Amino acid sequence: MTTFNVHVTIENKPGISDPEGDTILNDLVLKGTHKTVSKIKTAKMLKFTIKEKDKKIAQSKVQEICAELRIYNPMVSIVTIDVFDA
């Protein structure tokens, strides 16, 4: 068994509005001098530390946990799961 760090990023599906990201962009970043920024999207990240046989199993296990426990709502959000060696 190897220990892996698994990062789960949860964000709104493309096309669904993101008021928080828009507010940070319009009312903070663009208010300053950073005119080159065109978009900001907010997301939530969960960092799992998990012991599994290999990277692939670690990823599918975390995916399974997220779906089973409704850690995100597939109607609204998409998740990206990245696995790193601990």
Q: Residue 4 burial by CB count (10 A; 0-12/13-18/19+): exposed, middle or buried?
A: buried
- The answer to whether 64 contacts other proteins (rule: CB under 8 A) is no
- The answer to whether 12 contacts other proteins (rule: CB under 8 A) is yes
Query: Nearer to other proteins by C-beta: 19 or 36?
Result: 19
72 contacts: CB under 8 Å, gap ≥ 6: 10, 66, 79
- The answer to whether 23 contacts other proteins (rule: CB under 8 A) is yes
Q: Give me the least distance between CB of 20 and other proteins, in Å please.
A: 9
Residues that bind other proteins (CB under 8 A): 12-13, 15-19, 23, 70, 73-76
